[in-house]
A and B are shown apart, each in its own frame.
Chain A
Amino acid sequence: KNEVEQSPQNLTAQEGEFITINCSYSVGISALHWLQQHPGGGIVSLFMLSSGKKKHGRLIATINIQEKHSSLHITASHPRDSAVYICAVKGAQKLVFGQGTRLTINP
C-alpha cells in the first residue's frame, strides 16, 4: 500500500461543478502540500497545510490530522482548472507524493 493515496485518479466534470479530490496518508506528518501541474509540466504550489483549512479564491483545502486525510475542493470549476493535482506529505525526512488526480473540466 502506498503511503499516500489519492482519489479519484481521474475526474471529468462540467464547468461550474463543485470538485473534491481526496488524499489519505498512512505516516505521521508535519505538513501536507497540494500542487497543481499543467500539461506543459510546470508545477505550482496551491497550499501547504499542517492543520485546519485554507482558502484561496475558488480553492479550499482541509486536513484532518486524526483521520490522516486531506481534501482539495474547487468551487465553480472552470476549464482552466484542468490539470493534475498532486498531494505530498512531509514525513520524517522526506516528501512523499500521491500519484496525482487528473482533472478535466469540460465547457
Chain B
Amino acid sequence: KAGVTQTPRYLIKTRGQQVTLSCSPISGHRSVSWYQQTPGQGLQFLFEYFSETQRNKGNFPGRFSGRQFSNSRSEMNVSTLELGDSALYLCASSPGTSGSQGLQETQYFGPGTRLLVL
C-alpha cells in the first residue's frame, strides 16, 4: 500500500495570505490527524477527522481549520498567515474505529509540508 502523501512539500507565503495543505491517507484509513512542528514548541496536535467529522481538536485559533472528504482525503487551511505559522505541518492516518474517541491507534505519518511565512 502507498503511504500517506502530503502536497505540496514546500511552500512560501507572505503574512496575511491563506494556505491550503492536502493529505491523502493510506488506502482504507478513515482517520486523519494534523500536527504542527516548530523548533520552539515542538509537535502540537491540531485536529483529527473521522468520517468527514472533526472528532478531536487541539488548542489552535480559528484561523486553523480543516475538512475531510468522503474518500478520507483531508485538507488543512490557515487563513491570515502570521510569521509564527512557519512550521512543518504533518498529517497522519489510522484505520479509524467509529466507536472510539480516536487517536488510540498507531498513527502513520506523511512526510510533511514545510511552510515558510515571510
Interface residues of A in 62-100 (CB under 8 A from B): 86, 88, 90, 93-100
Q: Which residues of A contact B (CB under 8 A)?
A: 30-31, 33, 35, 41-45, 48, 50, 86, 88, 90, 93-100
The CA-CA distance from A100 to B33 in the complex, in Å, is 20
The CA-CA distance from A83 to B106 in the complex, in Å, is 19
A-B contact count (CB 8 A): 59
Give the number of residues in B that approach A within 8 Å (Cβ atoms): 23
Q: Tell whether A90 pairs with B103 under 8 Å between CB atoms, given A41-B111, A97-B45.
A: yes
Q: Which of B104, B106, B111 contacts A90 (CB 8 A)?
A: B104
Can you pick out 23 interface pairs between chain A and chain B where the beta carbons lie within 8 Å of each other? A30-B101, A33-B107, A35-B109, A41-B112, A42-B111, A43-B90, A43-B109, A45-B92, A45-B108, A48-B104, A86-B42, A88-B43, A90-B104, A93-B56, A94-B56, A94-B59, A94-B103, A95-B35, A95-B45, A97-B42, A97-B45, A98-B42, A100-B43
